[in-house]
Amino acid sequence: MGYEVAMKALVLSLVLDAVAGVHPSKIVPAIYVFGDSTLDVGNNNYLPGKDVPRANKPYYGVDFPGSKPTGRFSNGYNMADFIAKTLGFERSPMAYLALKAHNFLIPRAFIRGVSYASAGAGILDSTNAGNNIPLSKQVSYFQATKAEMESKVGPHVVRDLLSKSFFLVGVGSNDLFAFTTALAKQNKSGTQSDAAALLGSLISNYSTTITELYKLGARKFGIINVGPVGCIPRVRVLSPTGGCSGGLNQLAVGLDGALKSLLAGLAPKLPGMAYSIADSYNLTQATLGDPMAAGFASSDSACCGSGRLGAQGECSDPTATLCPNRNRYIFWDSIHTTQRAAMIGARTFYDGPPSFTTPINFKTLAHHT
């Protein structure tokens, strides 16, 4: 038997095992991840350019196995990892560009899935353009992955695999940051019509993304909405009082509401589509409102950074300091949460109360047939 034929037979065997649920700990055969730095597990390490956001230096990864930076914007694991763990995997699937660089895309795409998420990415191509993999490009990469998969085992097997797999999407924060930053540079305060135009554009593009993924075979969508981005340390430090930005939070509320309406409208039009919205906004607000209830002592400062609120310097700077007890902090750096906060979020979205997931939780979605 030739090498190519033997490898094709091996891949087909692995895929059929995954689809049939031979590995009992896995609830779904594979996970495909799309989004920004909250889910990125290293794609940006492979992008050229000095302005590309990367988490490949200490203290990033200090609590990851081996205490090494991996490209995750966390002290350890991130939200994608913990959601993958709830679904029976060891951690998030590997970054697409890492798999391509090491020729591991096949069979990893079959038996674990792929992460296309990229730090700095937005729903719009224009958001931080040139320094990330925008959402539309992430979908294009998935389309190319699917074509490679089909070339190995045929379209019918791939269709069955994808229909049972979990598609995790978390994006939108960077679009809001880009919008408010552009207004600030122009010394303008945005009008309601400006905000409405932005949200309309974001939802239109989000709709295109979900529809394209559906056409490519996705059926189970786990969507993480945008959290209260006006309350991250990097935004708080701009206020003399250290308070949240009401304007940014209102944009997030508007986007989340429009996203909820979008998905409720799309699902009846796309046969077989099932979805769960993880309410990052309300969960984060609840945690910020009573941090001690979740075991946190700090709710406004970064564990890793420098200056006021730990938000005036980057975590990767040589001058950065590191808090001694990461588990007591909600925020790891000036933007992202600690791995403990991510773990609490993932577990809540998986099988927590209905107040933080709609219309079903991730567990029900994963078991949906």
User: What residues have CB less than 8 Å from 145, skipping those under 6 apart?
Assistant: 96, 105, 109, 114
Q: Which one of the listed residues 37, 92, 173, 276 is annotated catalytic?
A: 37
367 is catalytic: no
User: What residues have CB less than 8 Å from 257, skipping those under 6 apart?
Assistant: none
36 is catalytic: no
Q: Which one of the listed residues 36, 173, 333, 334 is annotated catalytic?
A: 333
Using CA atoms, how far apart are residues 318 and 1, in angstroms rounded to an integer? Answer: 56
> Concatenated DSSP letters for 180-249?
HHHHHHTT----HHHHHHHHHHHHHHHHHHHHHHHHTT--EEEEE----GGGSHHHHTTSTT----HHHH
333 is catalytic: yes
Alpha carbon distances (Å) from 154 to 9, 11, 110, 220, 366: 12, 11, 12, 21, 24
For the CA atoms of 346, 347, 351, 355, what is the dihedral angle to 10 degrees? -70
Q: Which one of the listed residues 92, 276, 334, 336 is annotated catalytic?
A: 336
Active site residues: 37, 333, 336
